[in-house]
Every structure is written in C-alpha cells, then in structure tokens.
C-alpha cells in the first residue's frame, strides 16, 4: 500500500517539520497492519514529497485472525484460499488508515513545536493514492467525497489485468487529490475516507468507532453532503451505530454557532425571548440568556447592580441542589457551551465533572471556551468530555452521584422521551437527577414572542405546569425515585415561574413504595423559589 504527500510551499522541505520525519532519513515502523516505511522520493525547496509504504503479510493476517477465533475456519478449501488471494497487499484500505494513525499521529493532531504557525497554515498539497478502491461508485464516488472538502480530484480507473482488456476495469483507481488545506485536515480526511471508499474494515466495528468518526471529522463531517453515506460505510453498515452517529451530527451546525456566541440566529424568537426574559427579571434589556446555550447570562458591567439573568439563576439553583445533596461526581448532559461545567470545576468538592453532549463539535467548542489546554493538571484530571446520545445506553454515565438535564428534554422528540428516561433512570441510575425546562404558560410575559411560539427554534415542545407534573409523576411511578417540583425565576401569580424544575432522588436499594407514593410533590427545595 502506498500514499504520497507533496507540497510546493516554499521551502517545501518544511514538510519534514510537520510530519516529524526528516527528509534525509528513511524510517521503518512496526504497526498492527505491517511494516510501515516513510521516505522522501524528492526533497527540494521547490517541491517535497513524503511517501508512506505499508508492507502487508496477507498470510500473517489470516493466521492472526484464525488464532483470535481459536483456529476456526470458514468451511471449505475454496473459502480458505480466497482469504490469501486478494488485494489487501496493494490497495489502500483501513489497514493503511491504521498505519497513518500510527506513523503520522502528531501531524494529524496539528501539532508542531518547531513550526506551530506552519501547522496552522493552509498549504498547497497533493496526495496520491495509486491503488484506491472506490467500490460501488467509482471515480464519481471519490469526487463526491473529496470535492466538498476543497479538493480537486483526478481518478483514473485501473484495469483488472492489462493483458486482458476484455475483463474491464477493477474498482480500484489511481487517485490524486490537489488542494490548499492544513496538513492535519488533509491527513484526517484521508484517514476517515479510506475505509469509506473501500466500504470495509479489517477489524471489528464497535461503538468506539462512533467517537473516532466524530472526533476526526469534527471540523468537516457535520456539513458534508454525503455524511449519511460516510457514517453508514465507516460504521460497517451497522444500523444502530449509524443512527447514533447521525443523531450526534444532526444538531452540530446549530450548536456550533450557538456555543461560540457569534450570531446564532434561531429566527427572531430566540433573540426576542432573551430580551423578554431580561425585562421580566427587571434587567432593563440586558444581554441575558434565554434557553439552551445562547447568550452569556452575565450580570452586567462592574459597578452596576443588576438582577442576575434567568440562565444564571438556573445555574445557581442547580449548584445549590448539588451541594445540598452532597454530590461529588456529576454529569451535565446537554452541556452546550460548558458554562455550568465551568462552575462545577471551580468547586473542588465536585471531584468528577462529566460534560456530555450529542454533538462532538459542541464539546470541541466547550473545550475551547473552558481553555482546557491552560487548565491546571489537577483541574483537568476532574473533567471528562463524552459524546453521547441520551436515547442510547452509555456505561460511561453509570455510577455517578448526579445527572443534570438543564434545558434538554424539550429538544427531544416526544416519542423518544421514554428512551431518555430509561437511559437516565433505568440504566445510569444516579442518586440525583435535576431537570429544568421552560414553562410555556410564562411565554405570554415575553412581549416580543409571537402568540403560540416556542422560545427556541429547536424546541420540540414546551410544557405547561400540569403537563410537566404529569410527566415527572409518571417517572416516579415507573422508577424507584421520589420527585419534587419547583421553579426558577420570578413567580408570577397567574402563570408561574419561567423555568420549571424537578428533583428526582433515588430510593435506597430494596425500598418499595405504594403506587400512590410515586407522584411528584408540589413543594420546592429551599433556595430556588416557591412552588406552584
């Protein structure tokens, strides 16, 4: 297997700094896929080419696989022979992708201590893969995958056998990609798309492949027009994995702009809602946070005394409840831009803070806002970033003291709410669950919000107080949790508080209650305002 990366950036030999491989030395690496060799066929100031040659032992691959299955073989001598006679030695595939990750890991991460400015610079690049399978799509598939990323694609089909032209062409192509990109982006794109084009992987595809796909494709996959095809092929056509990956990609574009706080525009509704919440809280139109992750929710300039924004009140209420319950290991599920996560990390009593979001890009932006690279080691050690969908079980969320679902449930389609409840209360089973969600009855107090409109364009619904109480009561009836209701924000005598709140506490193991004792109580925990 062969891959060549060339540049005409001047001086072109700077490519050696980015790849961390000296142009004057040929190097050999042992990888799980075989022996990888890196060398430079050309290295001048005008043009430099780095080549990766992967030597595959097809007999060794078959033997290793059989050894891993106790020596069992698929029945029949013909099947066994076919395992040894194939294109794996020559055609670029997931084996080459594994070798790339092993040999070029630092370059793919975009790190270069010697030339950090160069690692961040888009360079004129050419990548050649002389034998690239483009199964079920041919050259058109290669163009569909690479051209949206800024590449010019030249793909020449290869004959099955030049001696027998009547046999026609193989699915393999001699592919050359030309474009101006950061080297890290170029390498990670090839890394992800190799097994997509080959439509196969040489190793077991499990749930961890979702994280790998979303991590390596974070900067380009959410907006790619072929993201469905990429996810399906990369994840081995496993429907459950593909569905989970696409669910995590679905909101990435919305959350990205929102988390950055740079002009997210959910129509006029969200903007006007934030202003309305500010007016309702007596803040005279200050920039407050309405719902989800939009807005900063700060309290104004130094020296001015202003009531805190509703988003800040929510965070204070949540923190007070966590402290009162003596919770130490806490997950903020649907963490968005990480404001609550930052507050949790600021208190050493929270010994483990798990930031969870369905969007890998949202977590990436939260990490940037939290400035993880500048965190003291003892603080960074308390933080975990987890990409996960609330409607799929995830063992990484089990064993925690508390799970917070702040302004999250209203973003879930109603038919999927039972799955969410089962994941959190039935599988993860934290000692404490805190839920906040908008009170739709309060929306009439927002003068700029059209009648009947929701506070955010991504809200699937907003509940009345009775509807929320009914949902929470149902949770208490199905799971071993007590439930209490309350609210956050100014308590209007006609429509209640703008944010609804539920506190669910797990019963001790073995304790049983009569069905009537599972209903949600109307009282509210001290410090968060009066109940309804």
- Residue 424: predicted pLDDT: 95
Q: What are the residue boundaries of the structural domains of the chain, listed by start?
A: 2-203, 267-298+307-518
- Residue 521: predicted pLDDT: 44
- What does DSSP say about strands 352-357 and 329-333: parallel, antiparallel, or unpaired? parallel
Residues 338, 293: Cα–Cα separation, whole Å: 8
Q: Of the ranges 68-82, 291-305, 506-520, which is most confident? A: 506-520
For residue 317, pLDDT beyond 60: yes
Which residues are CB-contacts of 425 (< 8 A; sequence separation ≥ 6)?
A: 433, 475, 478, 479, 481, 504
Looking at residue 97, the DSSP 8-state letter turns out to be H
Question: Would you call 176 helix, strand, or coil by DSSP?
Answer: strand
Query: 122-164 pLDDT, tens per residue?
Result: 999 999 999 888 888 889 999 999 999 999 999 999 888 888 8
Whether 314 and 290 have beta carbons less than 8 Å apart is answered as no
What mean pLDDT is predicted for residues 281-299?
Answer: 34
Residue matched to tokens 């109480």:
469
- Residue 371: predicted pLDDT: 85
Q: How confident is the model at residue 353 (pLDDT cuts 50, 70, 90)?
A: very high
What's the token pair of residue 430? 């934290």
Count the neighbouring beta carbons within 10 Å of the beta carbon of residue 380: 13
**Minimum mean pLDDT among 182-191, 225-234, 270-279, 350-359: which range?**
270-279
What mean pLDDT is predicted for residues 337-366?
Answer: 88
For residue 412, pLDDT beyond 70: yes
Class of 2-203 in CATH? alpha beta
Residues 484, 462: Cα–Cα separation, whole Å: 19
> What are 150-154's contacts with CB under 8 Å, separation 24+?
150/179, 150/180, 150/181, 151/177, 151/178, 151/179, 151/181, 152/177, 152/178, 152/179, 153/177, 154/178
**Minimum mean pLDDT among 288-302, 348-362, 489-503: which range?**
288-302
310, HSE (Cβ side, Cα atoms, 13 Å): 36
- Residue 278: predicted pLDDT: 41
For residue 344, pLDDT beyond 50: yes
For residue 425, pLDDT beyond 90: yes
Burial, 328: exposed, middle or buried (Cβ in 10 Å; 0-12, 13-18, 19+)? middle
Q: How confident is the model at residue 82 (pLDDT cuts 50, 70, 90)?
A: very low
For residue 99, pLDDT beyond 60: yes
For residue 524, pLDDT beyond 70: no
Residue matched to tokens 């934030």:
274
Query: 203-219 pLDDT, tens per residue?
Result: 778 888 888 898 888 88
Of the candidates 275, 279, 324, the residue with the CA atom closest to the CA atom of residue 486: 324
Can you spell out the DSSP letters for 436-482?
Answer: EEEBGGGGGG-TTSPTT--SSTT-S--B-HHHHHHHHHHHHHHSSEE
- Residue 72: predicted pLDDT: 39
Integer-rounded Cα Rg, in Å, for the chain is 27
Looking at residue 204, the DSSP 8-state letter turns out to be -
Q: How confident is the model at residue 63 (pLDDT cuts 50, 70, 90)?
A: low
Can you spell out the DSSP letters for 18-58?
Answer: HHT--TT--EEEEETTEEEEEEEEEE-SS-EEEEEEEE--H
**Minimum mean pLDDT among 43-52, 431-440, 451-460: which range?**
451-460
Task: Report percent pLDDT > 90 for the chain.
Answer: 43
Q: How confident is the model at residue 345 (pLDDT cuts 50, 70, 90)?
A: very high
For residue 5, pLDDT beyond 80: yes
Q: How confident is the model at residue 367 (pLDDT cuts 50, 70, 90)?
A: confident
Q: How confident is the model at residue 115 (pLDDT cuts 50, 70, 90)?
A: confident
Task: Report percent pLDDT > 70 for the chain.
Answer: 78
When the pLDDT of each residue in the chain is averaged and rounded to a whole number, the result is 79
Of the candidates 104, 99, 101, the residue with the CA atom closest to the CA atom of residue 119: 104
Can you spell out the DSSP letters for 249-290?
Answer: HHTHHHHHHHHHTS----HHHHHHHHHHHHHHTT-TT-----
What mean pLDDT is predicted for residues 492-511?
Answer: 90
SS3 string of 353-404?
EEEEECCHHHHHHHHHHHCHHHCCHHHHCCEEEEECCCCCCCHHHCCCCEEE
For residue 119, pLDDT beyond 90: no
Count the neighbouring beta carbons within 10 Å of the beta carbon of residue 492: 15
Domain 267-298+307-518 has CATH 3.40.50.150: yes
What mean pLDDT is predicted for residues 430-456?
Answer: 89
Which residues are CB-contacts of 151 (< 8 A; sequence separation ≥ 6)?
A: 177, 178, 179, 181
**Minimum mean pLDDT among 53-67, 71-85, 411-425: which range?**
71-85
Q: What angle, 0 to 180 degrees and rounded to 10, lies between the N-to-C axes of helices 208-216 and 239-250?
A: 40
Query: 39-60 pLDDT, tens per residue?
Result: 999 999 999 999 999 887 665 5
What mean pLDDT is predicted for residues 424-429?
Answer: 94
For residue 292, pLDDT beyond 70: no
In terms of phi and psi (left: phi > 0; alpha: psi -120 to 50; beta: otherwise), the region of 493 is alpha
Using CA atoms, how far residue 197 sits from 98, 130, 258, in Å, is 15, 14, 33
For residue 391, pLDDT beyond 70: yes
Q: Where are the beta strands (DSSP E) in 160-310?
A: 169-181
Query: 222-249 pLDDT, tens per residue?
Result: 888 899 999 999 999 988 888 888 877 7
């Amino acid at each position: 297997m062969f891959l060549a990366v060339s540049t005409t950036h001047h001086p072109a030999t700077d490519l050696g700094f980015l790849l961390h491989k000296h142009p004057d030395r040929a190097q050999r690496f042992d990888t799980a896929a075989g022996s990888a060799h890196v060398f430079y066929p050309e290295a001048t100031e005008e043009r430099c080419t780095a080549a990766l040659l992967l030597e595959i032992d097809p007999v060794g691959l078959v033997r290793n696989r059989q050894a891993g299955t106790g020596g069992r073989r698929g029945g029949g001598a013909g099947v066994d022979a076919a395992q040894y006679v194939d294109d794996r030695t020559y055609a670029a595939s997931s084996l080459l992708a594994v070798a790339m990750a092993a040999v070029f890991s630092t370059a793919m991460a975009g790190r270069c201590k010697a030339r950090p400015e160069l690692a961040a610079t888009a360079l004129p690049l050419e990548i050649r893969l002389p034998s690239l399978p483009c199964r079920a799509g041919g050259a058109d598939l290669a163009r569909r995958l690479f051209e949206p990323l800024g590449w010019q694609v030249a793909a020449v089909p290869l004959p099955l056998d030049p001696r027998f032209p009547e046999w026609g062409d193989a699915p393999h192509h001699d592919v050359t990609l030309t474009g101006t990109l950061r080297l890290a982006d170029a390498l990670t794109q090839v890394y992800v798309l190799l097994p997509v084009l080959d439509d196969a992987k040489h190793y077991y595809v499990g749930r961890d492949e979702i994280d790998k796909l979303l991590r390596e494709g974070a900067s380009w996959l959410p907006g790619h027009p072929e993201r469905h095809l990429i996810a399906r092929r990369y994840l081995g056509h496993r429907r459950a994995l593909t569905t989970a990956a696409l669910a995590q990609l679905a909101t990435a574009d919305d959350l990205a702009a929102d988390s950055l706080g740079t002009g997210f525009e959910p129509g006029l509704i969200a903007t006007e809602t934030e202003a309305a919440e500010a007016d309702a809280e007596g803040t005279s139109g200050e920039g407050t946070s309405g719902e989800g992750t939009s807005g900063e929710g700060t309290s104004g300039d130094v020296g001015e005394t202003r009531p805190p924004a509703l988003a800040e009140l929510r965070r204070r209420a949540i923190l007070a409840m966590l402290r009162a319950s003596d919770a130490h290991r806490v997950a903020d599920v649907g963490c968005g831009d990480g404001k609550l996560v930052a507050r949790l990390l600021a208190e050493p009593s929270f010994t483990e803070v798990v930031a969870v979001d369905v969007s890998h890009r949202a977590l990436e932006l939260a990490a940037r806002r939290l400035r993880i690279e500048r965190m003291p080691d003892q603080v960074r050690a308390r933080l975990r970033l987890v990409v996960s969908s609330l409607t799929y079980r995830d063992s990484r969320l089990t064993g925690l003291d508390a799970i917070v679902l702040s302004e999250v449930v209203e973003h879930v389609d109603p038919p999927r709410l039972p799955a969410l409840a089962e994941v959190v209360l039935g599988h993860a089973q934290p000692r404490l669950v805190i839920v906040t969600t908008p009170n739709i009855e309060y929306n009439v107090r927002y003068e700029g919000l059209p009648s009947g409109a929701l506070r955010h364009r991504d809200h699937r619904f907003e509940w009345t107080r009775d509807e929320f109480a009914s949902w929470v009561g149902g949770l208490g009836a199905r799971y071993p949790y007590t439930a209490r209701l309350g609210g956050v924000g100014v308590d209007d005598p006609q429509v209640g508080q703008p944010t609804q709140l539920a506190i669910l506490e797990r019963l001790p193991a073995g304790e049983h209650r009569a069905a009537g004792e599972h209903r949600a109580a109307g009282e509210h925990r001290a410090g968060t305002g009066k109940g309804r």
